Amino acid sequence: MNDSIRELPDHRRLGRELGLFETDPLMGAGLPYWLPDGAVVRHTLEEYIREAERRAGYRHVYSPALGKRELYEISGHWGHYRDDMYPAMRLGAEESEEIVLRPSLCPHHALIYRSRSHSYRELPLRIAELGSMYRAELSGVLGGLTRVRAIQLNDAHIFCTLEQAVQEARGALELIARAYADLGIEAVRHRLSLPGEGGKYVADPELWRRATALLREVLEESGIDYEEAEGEAAFYGPKIDVQIADPAGRESTLSTVQIDFHQPARFDLHYIGADGAKHRPVMVHRSIIGSVERAVAHLIEAHRGAFPAWLAPVQVVVLPVSEEQAGQAAAVVREAVELGLRAEVAGPGDGSLGARIRAARLVPYQVVIGAREAAEGRAAVRLRDGRRPGELPVPELLRRIADRVARRGIALWDRPE
């Protein structure tokens, strides 16, 4: 790594320098691939989100990335969002069906809900998926991981009664705030995104009025300051956008919460109420981190590659002072891996101790083993932030690191040393 990493961070440059992702003209613009270290970050982030959702009462599903054109005609995407979709595909000369790469997961989740009957006792029903979707972005707007054509979306849809909608949307905002704290992400503002001039929106004034009133109630009950922005709504309803900014101050939307009356009606969704009659559910859309690609791009820039320890591709690097300690270093790595840590050795063959320490400066924990430490079964730990907590017996040191990593968050050590 050279001194350019200390310049204004750009995730495209850092991603390549750190070996996280790459692109290839033969794959195509807007279609990055993930290298091993980048895949670790992505996988760890996805598992974190799945676990957070599981604890919050979500059930996970899988749905296909393709759907019939008719599906998106019903949902309204074909009529209101077609310019951002890939063309429909007819698979054979005799085939009458047209297949589309999906631009959104919500129509699929509506069908999953509709696949069986539901009682009011089951609601709220929270369905979540980390699923792929596709946007026909023009070449001129593509960039790194922030604007791509194949997207892995952290998406969820809550089917609930009208009385439950505000509470469910507030719960989604709380999940977002908790994830931001763990990831070291700062929201610069919350935006209530409303329709603007033009014909891309569903023409149902009462739908817009009801959904907007509920989202205002959500924001006000949550004590969140917000701004209203016309022209930023989804085609089917208003939404709360959680805005982030890159190091240059450019804003983008990372997380969203929406209340939707449109698609439950379009798909004729219902539940059986306490009165034995059919009632229409409300559909709350929410995404904790939006697209995985954009989330990782922001994390790269926000942390300049020095990810929170629980998210770092390598969490522990073991540095034997000389070849005589190589055996002990390998044993420490094996013990660390058994504790669930991502660890590797950087031995003397990689350069002097000072050079190896500099090369590993983005690794949260550097474990140094010299002749005395090896003889005593101990190791000295150096933290990425420059602190040196001292020496500890290797099992105690690794348990302490594993405990700190398991609690996630940003801090590297329990207390200043």
161-209 pLDDT, tens digit per residue, is 999 999 999 999 999 999 999 999 999 999 999 999 877 899 899 999 9
Instruction: Say yes or no to pLDDT of 219 above 70.
Output: yes
Give the other-Cβ count within 10 Å of 294's Cβ.
Answer: 23
CB atoms within 10 A of CB 28: 12
Predicted local distance difference test score (pLDDT) of residue 92: 75
**Angstrom distance (rounded) from CA 180 to CA 175:** 9
| CA dihedral sign, ordered 35, 41, 42, 43 | positive
Look-up of token digits 């069986």: 116
Is residue 298 classed as helix, strand or coil in its secondary structure? helix
**Structure-token pair, residue 18:** 């750190």
Contact 296, 186 (CB under 8 A): no
* Confidence grade of residue 140 (pLDDT, cut at 50, 70, 90): confident
CB contact set of 361 (below 8 Å; sequence gap of 6+)? 1, 384
Mind listing the pLDDT tens digit for each residue in 363-400?
Answer: 999 999 999 999 999 999 999 988 999 999 999 999 99
Per-residue pLDDT of 104-134, as tens digits, reads 999 999 999 999 999 999 999 999 999 999 9
Amino acid identity, residue 34? W
Residue 81 has pLDDT above 50, yes or no: yes
- Model confidence band, residue 63 (pLDDT cutoffs 50, 70, 90): very high
Computed over every residue of the chain, the mean pLDDT equals 93
Mean pLDDT along residues 9-13:
92
Rounded to 5°, angle at Cα 150 from 145 and 128: 100
Say yes or no to pLDDT of 416 above 80.
no
What type of residue is 298? H
- The percentage of residues in the chain with a pLDDT greater than 70, rounded to a whole number, is 97
| Confidence class for position 6, pLDDT limits 50, 70, 90 | low
Q: Are 362 and 306 in contact (CB under 8 A)?
A: yes
Strand 66-68 with 98-101, pairing? antiparallel
The distance in angstroms from the start CA to the end CA of the chain is 28
Task: In whole angstroms, give the CA distance from residue 207 to residue 328.
Answer: 67
* Residue 234 DSSP code: B
For residue 231, give the 3-state DSSP assignment: coil
- CA trace torsion 14, 16, 22, 24 (10° rounding): 120
Instruction: Quote the longest CA-to-CA distance of the chain.
Output: 78
What confidence category does residue 1 fall into, taking pLDDT thresholds of 50, 70 and 90?
very low
Q: pLDDT tens, 327-338?
A: 999 999 999 999
Mean pLDDT, residues 16-37 taken together: 95
Question: For 287-340, what is each residue's pLDDT tens digit?
Answer: 999 999 999 999 999 999 999 999 999 999 999 999 999 999 999 999 999 999
Reported confidence tier of residue 220, pLDDT bands at 50, 70, 90: very high
Pairing of strands 251-260, 282-287: antiparallel
pLDDT tens digits along 252-282: 999 999 999 999 999 999 999 999 999 999 9
pLDDT number for residue 5: 46
Q: When comparing pLDDT for 55 and 7, which is higher?
A: 55
Per-residue pLDDT, 415 = 55
